[in-house]
Amino acid sequence: MQARKISDGIWWTGAVDWDRRLFDSLIPLPDGTSYNSYFVQGSKKSALIDAVDPTMKKVLFARLNSLNISSIDYVIANHAEQDHSGSIPDILAAYPNAKAVTSEKGKALIMDLLAVPEDRILVVKDGEAIDLGEKTLQFLYFPWVHWPETMLTWIPEQKILFPCDLFGSHLASADLYTSEESLLLPAAKRYYAEIMMPFRTSIEKNLNKVTGLDPQMIAPSHGPIHKNPKFIIDAYRDWVAGPPKNLIVVPYISMHDSTRLMVEHFVEACADRGLFAEQFDLADADTGRLAMLLVDASGIVLGSPIVLAGPHPKVAYAAILANALRPKATFASVIGSFGWGGRLVETLQALMPNLKLDFLPPVLAKGLPRPKDYAAIDALAETIRTRIIAP
Ligand code: FEO
């Protein structure tokens, strides 16, 4: 396994995880992922920017060995999560002169999570730089992309940014670069939805730090390297700060088809009014796809029967997920069916306290939906039309 040169004195030493299908025991990875690591050789010193998931450390060592490296001076821990930093203890053991370089908060995390000894850690402040000789590593704090300790590494001489998780994608590929932007965009959006969307306010505040650098290349720690940084920066700008789109997400479950009939009527009622509503059956759902829909959605309409006196647990899960992901949606409602009663609407509302949502009147049918229930669904669609299109 060879290291792959990406620029003068900089090599990719990462690992492609073709077969991984779940991240954090939560996030589906239909396309696998990669853990990108980069070795930088200056005229005086060398550095490794991020490492790899511990399951892939043999690959990292094989690529480093292909460069005949006898020592590494710095191991940059941009982010303490184990998929990047989990093999740093092995690197420090193999290269006894190396120091792990991280932010102030990163120091505590790599000591707590990875048992890195304090005397092997060098803390850098926001904006601080390390001179490798004809190459500088500058560190920019960028908290909450994905954890609070995260920093980006910038090499000004070559205008390459190493932002760790930010701008990444869970996409296993033999191609190190973004050769097909149309293929990359869905993977990058899915990754943004699953990993970055909860932090969109922080990203929006800090995005100008990145554009101000005018990078020529962005080399994240998951997925392809961006030779056209504008492509991914523009996509992020839209995802974090663009207005919500004409899209209503309708996650639902139906046990005996009454709720399904209501959901299908709602989706058609929306289409009749020029609204795009996407129904999403939670019975066998790809939650990553649900997260992607939430990136642009104006509203969330949950469809659930009342079961055991409350929402169907899979709909409750969708509400909890939406609450955690903090999408831009501005309104929500509930439609569904019941046999005898329970607390459906109140329970679902209470599961989404993080979202600034206007709750529109719910539509609940006793048993099979009747004409009055369909009329109420039409009225809900009309209310939404006045919000999204025009009064
Ligand atoms: Fe790829 Fe937050 O780790």
What is the share, in percent, of the chain residues with pLDDT greater than 90?
95
> How many helices, marked H, and strands, marked E, lie in the chain?
12, 24
Assess whether pLDDT exceeds 90 at residue 178. no
Residue 55: predicted pLDDT: 97
Residue 234: predicted pLDDT: 96
Q: Does residue 194 have its Cβ closer than 6 Å to ligand 1?
A: no
pLDDT digit string (tens) for 85-125?
999 999 999 999 999 999 999 999 999 999 999 999 999 99
pLDDT digit string (tens) for 265-295?
999 999 999 999 999 999 988 999 999 999 9
Specify the higher pLDDT residue, 27 or 53: 53
Q: Does residue 165 have its Cβ closer than 6 Å to ligand 1?
A: yes
Confidence of residue 27 (pLDDT cuts 50, 70, 90): confident
pLDDT digit string (tens) for 188-212?
999 999 999 999 999 999 899 999 9
319 CA to centre of ligand 1 in angstroms: 24
Cβ(211)–Cβ(203) under 8 Å?
Answer: no
Is pTM beyond 0.85 here? yes
Assess whether pLDDT exceeds 90 at residue 26. no
Find tokens 């930010």 and name the residue.
Answer: 166
Confidence of residue 181 (pLDDT cuts 50, 70, 90): confident
Mean predicted confidence (pLDDT) in 358-372: 98
Q: Where are the domains of the chain?
A: 4-241, 248-385
* Distance in angstroms (rounded) separating the CA atoms of residues 384 and 248: 9
Assess whether pLDDT exceeds 90 at residue 24. no
Atom of ligand 1 nearest to the CA of 168: 1
Residue 105: predicted pLDDT: 98
Residue 143: predicted pLDDT: 95
Assess whether pLDDT exceeds 90 at residue 390. no
305 CA to centre of ligand 1 in angstroms: 37
Residue 179: predicted pLDDT: 75
Assess whether pLDDT exceeds 80 at residue 147. yes
84 CA to centre of ligand 1 in angstroms: 7
> What's the mean pLDDT when you consider all of the chain?
96
β-partners of residue 51 are: none
Residue with the nearest Cα to atom 3 of ligand 1?
81
Out of 19-23, 319-323, 366-370, pick the least confident. Answer: 19-23
Query: CA 143, 149, 153 angle in degrees (round to 5)?
Result: 75
Mean predicted confidence (pLDDT) in 161-173: 96
DSSP string, 18-83: TT--EETTTEE-TT-EEE--EEEE-SS-EEEE----GGGHHHHHHHHHHTT----SEEE-S--SHH
Confidence of residue 173 (pLDDT cuts 50, 70, 90): very high
Residue with the nearest Cα to atom 1 of ligand 1?
165
Q: Does residue 222 have its Cβ closer than 6 Å to ligand 1?
A: yes
Residue 25: predicted pLDDT: 84
Atom of ligand 1 nearest to the CA of 147: 2
Residue 214: predicted pLDDT: 97
Assess whether pLDDT exceeds 80 at residue 57. yes
Residue 180: predicted pLDDT: 81
Atom of ligand 1 nearest to the CA of 165: 1
The second-level CATH assignment, the architecture, of 248-385 is 3-Layer(aba) Sandwich (3.40)
Atom of ligand 1 nearest to the CA of 221: 1
Residue 273: predicted pLDDT: 98
Confidence of residue 325 (pLDDT cuts 50, 70, 90): very high
CATH 3.40.50.10950 is held by the domain 4-241:
no
Query: CA 296, 298, 300 angle in degrees (round to 5)?
Result: 105
Assess whether pLDDT exceeds 90 at residue 182. no
Residue 217: predicted pLDDT: 97
> Cα-Cα-Cα-Cα dihedral of 316, 317, 319, 320, to 10°?
120
222 CA to centre of ligand 1 in angstroms: 8
65 CA to centre of ligand 1 in angstroms: 25
Cβ(17)–Cβ(58) under 8 Å?
Answer: no
* Distance in angstroms (rounded) separating the CA atoms of residues 183 and 192: 15
165 CA to centre of ligand 1 in angstroms: 5
